[in-house]
Amino acid sequence: MNRLKAAAIALAALALVAGASEPSERLADPAQEARARELFKEVRCLVCQNESIDDSEAQLAGDLRKVVREQVKSGRSDREIRAFLVERYGEFVLLKPPFSAGNAALWLAPIGVLLVGGGLMFGLLRRRETAESELSQDEEARLKRLLEED
């Protein structure tokens, strides 16, 4: 029974690996195919959004793999291929977009909002404490009378 389970698992694994990319899609040059596979890991599937096109089975991911392979086959550098994809689909297509002022603002904005909100809260609470601690002349006179009666 254990051999049967092991054989079933091995066949399932083989089917998954075989389904990952069809041999007809692969590039003839192994070095180019390896380069394309590395690029697949950097490009986001626009349908799945949290998977690379290397991991995704969506039709659009398959189309993007073909585009990347065509770009590699035509002799473009990795940088040129990334630039082509960003021009066509926006920076979102890259799983690790390059650092830029726009990205920094996007990541730092929540921290800025928290700091501004904390500062406003601190200021309002401080103003409230000072406003409550000051007594008018009438209140001071009344408090003095109350304290003298005891």
73-106 confidence digits (pLDDT tens): 999 999 999 999 999 998 889 988 888 888 888 8
**How does the average pLDDT of the chain come out, rounded?**
83
Q: What's the domain count of the chain?
A: 2
Burial class (CB in 10 A: 0-12, 13-18, 19+), 52: middle
Same domain, 118 and 82: no
Same domain, 27 and 52: yes
Print the domain residue range for 133. Answer: 101-149
Please give the Cα distance from 5 to 83 (Å, whole number). Answer: 47
Confirm whether 86 is domain-assigned.
Answer: yes
Cα of 67 vs its chain's centroid, Å: 23
Confirm whether 3 is domain-assigned.
Answer: no
Same domain, 109 and 37: no
Q: What spatial distance separates the first Cα and last Cα of the chain, rounded to whole Å?
A: 94
pTM above 0.85, yes or no: no
Contacts of 37 (CB under 8 A, 6+ apart): 54
Same domain, 27 and 55: yes
Confirm whether 144 is domain-assigned.
Answer: yes
Same domain, 89 and 105: no
